Amino acid sequence: MIVMVTPLVTRFLLELQTSLKNTVKQDGIIGRYGGEEFIVILPNTCEAEAFFLGEKIRRQIEKVNFDIGINVTISIGIAEVDNSDLKIVERADAMLYHAKKTGRNRVVCYSHIS
């Protein structure tokens, strides 16, 4: 398989990476998850703090001018670990898709929906 990455995609990924690095605490873990998704693990962070960080990242990306005639936005799903629950990624992923389905460019927490 050959994957072509355009300069726009590269620029977006660099902007997102910069935003994540500048916003996530030092003990946070940032990684690529799937084709166009990222996962951020925030140890010792409550859901309210994660929501605040997500909103900060969302607003930073929203302000970037990519010179393509449209605004680039991101959607973020948040789930908090519940007693070492192994379904955390599944819940966060469900919140990401919920954010996309309900208008995009938003941060959605699992506790707000469930």
Give the residue numbers annotated as catalytic, written as ranges.
36
- Cα separation values, 65 from 15, 23, 61, 94, 100, Å: 11, 19, 9, 29, 21
The owner of tokens 């819940």 is 91
